[in-house]
Structure 1
Amino acid sequence: MRYIFNFPDIGEGLDEGTIAEWYVQKGQKIEAGEPIVNMETDKVVTDIPSPKSGVIVATYGKIGETIRVGSPLVEIEIEGVEGEAAVAEANKTEPVEEAAGVVGTLEVASNAAFLPSGDEGLENKPSVVEGKPTRKALATPVARAMAKELGVDINQIRGTGPSGRVTTQDIENYIKKQTTTPSAAQSVTQVVETSGAQVEYENLTQIRKTIARNMTQSKHNAAHMSVFDEVEVSELVRIRSKYKSVFAEKGVKLSYLPFILRALAMSLKYHKVLNSQLDLDNNRIIYKKYYNIGIAVDTEDGLVVPVVRNVDRLSIIEIARQINEISEKARNRKLTLEDIKDGTFTVTNYGSIGGQFAVPVINYPQVGILGVGRLIEKPVIKNGEITKGMVLPLSLSVDHRIVDGGEVARFLNRLMSYLEDPISLIME
């Protein structure tokens, strides 16, 4: 039997990838679990392993070509009992166990992914690849309103909610898949003449398309509200300066960010709505009892947001070490899916480059993001006297649909109290 293995959904909203390298070719024998292709997405670079053993009959796609999740990757000839077992297995709906080297869970292919042995190929089986729902879709009122506003035919969307209902997330995923992509992985620039002036065109990279899509999604869905304040952190500056060399001896670069992340995690425990997610389709708020804080990292390719996990359980040096590691991986495009998923809150430290205040855009579906400005020395009042102090500007954006102004102020006050008195960060 012939088995067609489609590009699997590796999670975190990644719906397409670019073929970076083929490890197999036609006629080559392959064992289950062996990598067949290296795929580059807008967030991670990962090897995709073969779910079956057999002989490669065909590969689909050239190096540099962008393909969507669910599109064919390879066709494998499976012989004997294993081939029959594979057909039986295809009738199952459970996800197969994660194979070595792949990020996320691979879904079992449907019956249609198996072809009879012979010379006929995928091109003779169009029904293998595509099919459209024809029934009238069930959907929540919110989803119907969203589809109408965006001009989307909701009946063309396959729902994933209860009883197959179409949710707002299904609509967002559908819109993503309608986005056309260039066939080459690299950006192409072109200079043309327009009324005597020159303009330059550059195709969007994978990561830039994702940034554009996510920013639009966030502004469309979340009711952004921002507040700004300054916190006097002279004691934090003193402690960081004192222990910077100690950390360096242990191979860890100590910035102010580990203290900020620790303060955030402790503050979020007291103000749980800022560590939540709005599930409007089911009319509920999901409170998350883990504290995974994403850090916006500026790379040559664009902005990526790796995550420091369980910040509330980590010491300052452990947080610093993780920040160093994931930042380096981000700049070298070595992030895995595990590095970027399950964030509950985000920090953007634009002040390391410049600027004091901003209006950061929420990393949807999270409900809060903290912007950290440039640390500056300025006059402050202490004990009724004017003196010099080190001041850190903070900009906080929240989703006003579920976070009220009073709660924002209380959260920010608590956060600043930790930063003003950094010893308190190790006392709880």
Structure 2
Amino acid sequence: MAIEIKAPAFPESVADGEVATWHKQEGEQVARDELIVEIETDKVVMEVVAPEDGVISKILAQEGETVQSEQVLAVLEQGASAAASGAAATPAQAAPAAVDDDAEGPAMGPAARQLVEEHQLNPAEIPGSGKNGRVTKEDILAYLKTRDSAPAAKPAAPAAAVPAPAAPQVQASGERIEKRVPMTRMRAKIAERLLEATQSTAMLTTFNEVNMAPLMELRNKYKDQFAQVHNGTRLGFMGFFVKAACEALKRFPAVNASIDGNDIVYHGYQDIGVAVSTTDGLVVPVLRDADFMSVADVEASIRDLGERARDKKLTIEDMTGGTFTVSNGGVFGSLLSTPILNPPQTGILGMHKIQERPMAVNGEVVILPMMYLALSYDHRLIDGKTAVQFLVAIKDLIEDPARILLQL
């Protein structure tokens, strides 16, 4: 029985998607719930799995093709085997392609496979830049360009019993290599939103610095016990900063608001976005009702969201919403930066590297672990005074962590 394999149902905020990678090809056997194809949207990569055991009889949407919500991507012959499917294939389908003869060769999509067949290439000679070494269409085009631009080989010497080995190709001194690849939908959307934030908001950034010694002392004292009690959850700094942000947002609701046309929307809850870096770019999953979460809940949720982001398991719902964002560039060594707003939010807190610096304390110079804090805000809604007071509230809560628990 033929079963249609469809794209996922996209939410209203996602217009369409793009076929990113086929993990199975026509004639290949699949098991139920096995990954078949990945669909990349503006926000996340969505996986499509096999609904039943069977064989992929036909692929209807190629890699790089734009697809709509619930569009048919392929046809699955339920219960069929790869051998039976091959026996029923037409002569053109049954003819072995160059890429299929090499069982150990790299994986590739239909577009790349077609180029290999047209040019009679050996896929094992083509370096793949895709996921898990997958050979993409762009890899083959680059290979052909390099091959065609190489000097023609000299005619072989007559009556030679064994052909002389080809001389290794050496890159000419001073030759500059360029590689052009299309921007992914997610990367393009990130670029679009960042540009929108800088052009459509009156963004301004204010700075302060915080003494991390009290928080570091508290963490060192309880981190082992914390991990034991909370099932291995690591006690980090993000949990305290998220909780401090929630407390400060309650005191300064304008920083937790958003602009909708000529209206100001004040949110009576704190949904905190946490910036996570992935190979595809920066994503911002959201901690719902973070003000009701404990430090342990925040740390466990951030760890879970980070792992799912790197494994491309985040859903649209994980990425939607958020009233304020916390970004920690310090994990990469950033000492100071100006974070960009995540519209329609009007504020984002930037954390940075902890670095020991000489500080004046009660008339004496003391070496303290200091961190620069940055608050970028939309000046259309938030006045400078409010922004500075909000950042000072964060500083006070972090320098005296007990105040977070006591809500002082």
Q: Considering the TM-score relative to the shorter chain, is it more than 0.5? A: yes
Residue identity opposite 2:326 in structure 1: V
- The match for 1:268 among 234, 249, 258 is 249
Alignment of 1:102-251 (within 5 A): 188=138, 190=142, 197-249=176-228, 250-251=231-232
When normalised by structure 1's length, the TM-score is 0.63
CA displacement at 1:25 relative to structure 2: 9.5
Structure 2 distance, partners of 1:11, 1:67, is 17
> How far apart are the structure 2 equivalents of 1:5 and 1:202?
28
1:256 is aligned, of 218, 224, 237, to 237
SS at the partner of 1:201? coil
State the one-letter code of the partner of 1:39. Answer: I
Partner of 1:43: 43
Is the radius of gyration larger for structure 1 or structure 2? 2
1:309-352 superposed Cα distances (whole Å, 9 cap, x missing partner): 21110111111111111111111111112221111111111111
Of 372, 393, 398, 1:414 maps to 393
Aligned length: 305
Provide structure 2 residue ranges, at least 5 long, that are not aligned to the other structure: 28-34, 51-55, 76-133, 150-173
Partner amino acid for 1:219?
T
Query: What aligned pairs does 1:39-118 form with structure 2 within 5 A after superposition?
Result: 39-46=39-46, 60-62=60-62, 64-69=63-68, 72-73=71-72
Give, in angstroms, the shift of residue 197 of structure 1.
3.6
Alignment correspondent of 2:130: none
* Conserved? CA contact 2:61–2:73, under 8 Å: no
CA distance in 2, matches of 1:362, 1:424: 28
Are 2:363 and 1:362 equivalent residues in the alignment? no
Aligned to 1:278: 259
Tell me the TM-score normalized by structure 2.
0.66
1:266 partner letter: E
Instruction: Tell me the residue number matched to 1:329.
Output: 308
Distance 1:18-1:5 versus aligned 2 partners, 3 A rule: closer
**Residues 264-313 of structure 1: per-residue CA shift (max 9 Å, x gap):** 01101111111111111xx1011112211111111222211111221110
The answer to whether 1:396 aligns with 2:391 is no
Structure 1 residue 231 displacement after superposition? 1.1
Is 2:351 the counterpart of 1:352?
no
Once the two structures are TM-superposed, the CA of residue 20 in structure 1 deviates from its matched residue by 4.5
Picking from 290, 295, 309, the partner of 2:269 is 290
Is the 2:233–2:300 Cα contact (8 Å) retained in structure 1? yes
Percent identity, aligned pairs only, is 32
Counterparts of 2:315 and 2:136, CA distance in 1 = 21
**Deviation of 1:198 (Å):** 2.9
Secondary structure of 2:360's partner?
Answer: strand
In structure 1, distance between residues paired with 2:175 and 2:135: 31
User: Which residue does 1:378 correspond to in 2?
Assistant: 357
What is the rounded CA distance, in whole Å, between the counterparts of 1:4 and 1:374 in structure 2? 47
Amino acid at match of 1:265: C
Q: CA RMSD in A?
A: 3.5
Query: What is the CA–CA distance in structure 1 between the aligned matches of 2:37 and 2:179, rounded to whole Å?
Result: 34
Equivalent residues of 2:7, 2:67 under 8 A apart: no
Q: Which runs of 5+ in 1 are unaligned?
A: 27-34, 51-55, 77-183
Distance 1:330 1:349, change over 3 A: same
Instruction: Measure, in 1, the Cα distance between the counterparts of 2:137 and 2:263.
Output: 42
Report matched runs for 1:334-345 at 5 Å.
Answer: 334-345=313-324
